[in-house]
Amino acid sequence: MIQSKAEVYEDLKTKKTFWDPKLEPYFQTPENPDYVVIKFLPQKIEYYSGMGMEVWER
């Protein structure tokens, strides 16, 4: 399980920085208002290591 906060970036500079031509079938260009960049900031991650559960928290 991952708990996080998220930041949404809609500015053209950020969108162009992360743009990949493979996204063209979905968004055509980085100028498309439906295309945004989301930055996830994890707060807590629970995962299994061996036979036990581990927890990472910020």
Whole-structure pTM value: 0.76
Q: What is the pLDDT of residue 58?
A: 87
**Distance separating alpha carbons of residues 6 and 11, to the nearest angstrom:** 16
Walk along the chain (58 residues) in steps of 10 and give the mean pLDDT of each run.
96 98 98 98 93 91
For residue 27 the two structure tokens come to: 């968004």
Q: Of 7, 32, 8, whose CA–CA distance to 19 is shortest?
A: 32
Please state the domain count of the chain. Answer: 1
> What residues contact 17, with CB distance under 8 A and at least 6 apart?
37
Range of the domain at 35: 2-57
**Which residues does residue 8 pair with via DSSP β-bridges, in sequence order?**
38
